[in-house]
């Protein structure tokens, strides 16, 4: 029997593009050599061009990092009638910010400001105390490797603007939630990806240095590596070079994440992110080399098929271990990764809420196949009255719900605290997701929708309809 943890992991895999983290991948063999004469293969280029022509994403900016140098490959525009993107185009990197947060933690560890074994309660205000189940207290190590026992999102997260959901979440709200949270598992027992935990980590690290998260990130990482366009607050140059975020083919708002900044607030370019990956591979010499090396150290093997370091996730690949993280905000999907054995790194930034993780893994690991890009022309028409029946809230786990909404004749899904994604009808009750090989089917009893089933890779997860 599958455990609750296993099913939760499968659900996170299914919703790669809304969660900012995927767990399971297609392990298909391919004989295609992905880098030929220092260029992207025709197979990859064809896949990227199809995504742009099918309006999966308006653009894709790629950097390939090797010992011989960095190459940039740019496709598409900042918006439909916008400028061509290049290596200086700005994107929101979302949860890749968590890797930056891990670097901030590693720097304070090596500076002797704290240890990975320190109790985080000792660094919070006296009136804030995070409760735990069992005898182990939450440490900085638990926050960085997602074993704190804190949930993915706080349940007092009720955004006034769903299109910019983190903007009005305050530090006091975070303190209130973590002080009153009733844990469901002991600290260190299991991996549970937590935006809350990573945001809290960034908050404590900044507070420990009497700085904002952005100030600390720029001082510790961006300035030493000369990442001049890696910030949270836009400057004028970044605004001028911004690729506008898209969801469902429409321009959407940028996300502001003041309190949980360490979980996903950073904006950057492929040029800057390529420098960051170069530094991780040791090509870009800097004082951060031992700090970055510390973030690569294995923490545990509790994340399903993945191992976890500080911030980084580690996937076994044909050519070596792939250190990686992806990210997603309302209108952006991003991926970074590298393989020490081959000395190769990849950065992929897109301005769409549909990701390109498969391309990143495909370039770094020849056993990972590209995803099939489905055309919107394959979609069948469903009566509006039928679509209305599917609208509602479906409970996957007590702290994880999937909300189905309808705009005109288009269904959207939205997981707790995350952004919307499109669903395309395969038949009257089954919908497919583009890029990710997954389906959502609705089940009725006496004309009333009672549940949905999320299907991926032979696995099925049921969500009971709890709100109509």
pLDDT the model gives residue 416: 66
- The CATH code of the domain at 376-467 is 2.40.128.50
SS (H, E, C) the chain: CCCHHHHHHHHHHHCHHHHCCCCCCCCCCCCCCCEECCEECHHHHHHHHHHHHCCCCCEEEEEEEECCEEEEEEEEECCCCCCECCCCCEEECHHHHHHHHHHHHHHHHHCCCCCCCCEHHHHCCCCCCCCCCCCCCCEHHHHHCCCCCCCCCCCCCCCCCCCCCCCCCCHHHHHHHHHHCCCCCCCCCCCCCCHHHHHHHHHHHHHHCCCCHHHHHHHHHHHHHCCCCCECCCCHHHHHCECCCEECCEECCCCCCCCCHHHHCCEECHHHHHHHHHHHCCCCCCCCHHHHHHHCCCCEEEECCEEECCCCEEECCCCCCEEEEEEEECCEEEEEEEECCCCEEEEEEECCCCCCHHHHHHHHCCCCCCCCCCCHHHCCCCCHHHHHHHCEEEEEECCEEEEEEEECCEEEEEECCCCEEEEEECCCCEEEECCCCEEEEEEEECCEEEEEEEEECCEEEEEEEEEC
pLDDT the model gives residue 21: 37
Q: What is the pLDDT of residues 442-463, one digit of tens each?
A: 999 988 999 999 887 677 889 9
Q: Which tokens sit at 445?
A: 């009893």
HSE (CB half, 13 Å, CA atoms) of 281?
29
CA-to-CA distance for 130 and 194, rounded, in angstroms? 15
Q: What is the pLDDT of residues 187-246, one digit of tens each?
A: 999 999 999 999 999 999 999 999 999 999 999 999 999 999 999 999 999 999 999 999
Domain ranges of the chain: 32-364, 376-467
Angle between helices 195-208 and 97-110 (to 10 degrees): 40
Go through 1-22 and write b for each residue having 16 or more CB atoms within 10 A of its CB, e for each that does not: eeeebebbbbbbbbbbbbbbbb
pLDDT the model gives residue 406: 86
Q: What is the pLDDT of residues 106-163, one digit of tens each?
A: 999 999 999 999 999 999 999 999 999 989 999 999 999 999 999 989 999 889 998 9
CA-to-CA distance for 294 and 54, rounded, in angstroms? 42
- Sort strands 313-315 and 430-433 into parallel, antiparallel or unpaired: unpaired
Widest pairwise Cα distance in the chain: 66
Mean pLDDT to the nearest integer, 282-296: 97
CA-to-CA distance for 265 and 262, rounded, in angstroms? 7
Please name the residues in contact with 213: beta carbons below 8 A apart, sequence gap of 6 or more: 202, 203, 205, 206, 232, 261, 262, 265
C-alpha distances out from residue 346 to 19, 91, 277, Å: 20, 16, 8
pLDDT the model gives residue 374: 72
CA-to-CA distance for 356 and 343, rounded, in angstroms? 21
pLDDT the model gives residue 37: 41
| CA-wise closest residue to 348 among 330, 361, 334 | 334
User: Given a cut of 50, is residue 20 above it in pLDDT?
Assistant: no
pLDDT the model gives residue 81: 92
User: Given a cut of 90, is residue 15 above it in pLDDT?
Assistant: no
Same fold, 32-364 and 376-467: no
pTM: 0.82
pLDDT band at 432 (very low <50, low <70, confident <90, very high): confident
pLDDT the model gives residue 189: 94
CA-to-CA distance for 227 and 246, rounded, in angstroms? 25
pLDDT the model gives residue 437: 67
- The CATH code of the domain at 32-364 is 3.40.710.10
């Amino acid at each position: 029997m599958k455990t609750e943890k296993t099913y939760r992991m499968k659900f996170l895999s299914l919703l790669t593009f809304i969660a900012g983290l995927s767990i399971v991948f297609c392990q298909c063999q391919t004989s295609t050599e992905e880098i030929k004469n220092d260029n992207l293969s025709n197979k990859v280029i064809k896949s990227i061009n199809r995504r742009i022509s099918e309006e999966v994403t308006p653009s894709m900016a790629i950097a390939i990092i090797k010992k011989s140098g960095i190459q940039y490959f740019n496709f598409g525009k900042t918006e439909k009638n916008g400028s061509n993107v290049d290596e200086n185009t700005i994107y929101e990197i979302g949860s890749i910010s968590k890797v930056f947060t891990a670097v901030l933690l590693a720097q304070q560890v090596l500076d002797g400001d704290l240890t990975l074994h320190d109790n985080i309660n000792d660094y919070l205000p006296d009136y804030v105390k995070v409760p735990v189940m069992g005898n182990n207290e939450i440490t900085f190590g638990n926050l960085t490797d997602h074993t704190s026992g804190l949930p993915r999102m706080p349940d007092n997260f009720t955004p006034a603007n769903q299109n910019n959901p983190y903007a009005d979440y305050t530090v006091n709200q975070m303190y209130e939630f973590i002080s009153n949270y009733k844990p469901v598992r002991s600290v260190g027992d299991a991996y549970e990806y937590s935006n809350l935990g990573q945001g809290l980590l960034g908050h404590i690290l900044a507070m420990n240095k009497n700085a904002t998260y952005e100030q600390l990130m720029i001082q510790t990482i961006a300035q030493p590596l000369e990442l001049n366009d890696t910030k949270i607050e836009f400057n004028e140059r970044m605004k001028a070079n911004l690729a506008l975020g898209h969801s469902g083919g429409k321009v959407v708002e940028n996300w502001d994440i003041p309190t949980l900044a360490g979980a996903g607030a950073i904006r950057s370019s492929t040029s800057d992110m390529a420098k960051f990956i170069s530094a991780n591979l040791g090509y870009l010499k800097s004082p951060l080399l031992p700090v970055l090396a510390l973030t690569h150290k294995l923490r545990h093997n509790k994340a399903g098929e993945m191992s976890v370091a500080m911030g980084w996730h580690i996937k076994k690949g044909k050519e070596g271990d792939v250190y990686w993280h992806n990210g997603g905000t309302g209108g952006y999907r991003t991926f970074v990764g590298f393989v020490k054995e081959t000395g190769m790194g990849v950065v992929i930034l897109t301005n769409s809420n549909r990701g390109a993780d498969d391309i990143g893994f495909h370039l770094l690991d020849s056993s990972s196949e590209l995803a099939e890009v489905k055309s919107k022309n394959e979609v069948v028409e469903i009566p509006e009255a039928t679509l209305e029946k599917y609208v509602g809230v479906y409970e996957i786990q007590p702290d994880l719900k999937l909300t189905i909404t309808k705009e005109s004749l288009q269904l959207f899904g939205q997981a707790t605290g995350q952004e919307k994604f499109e669903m395309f009808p395969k038949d009257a009750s089954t919908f497919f997701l583009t890029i990710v090989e997954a389906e959502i089917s609705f089940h009725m009893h006496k004309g009333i929708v009672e549940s949905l089933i999320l299907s991926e890779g032979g696995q099925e997860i049921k969500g009971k309809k709890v709100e109509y």
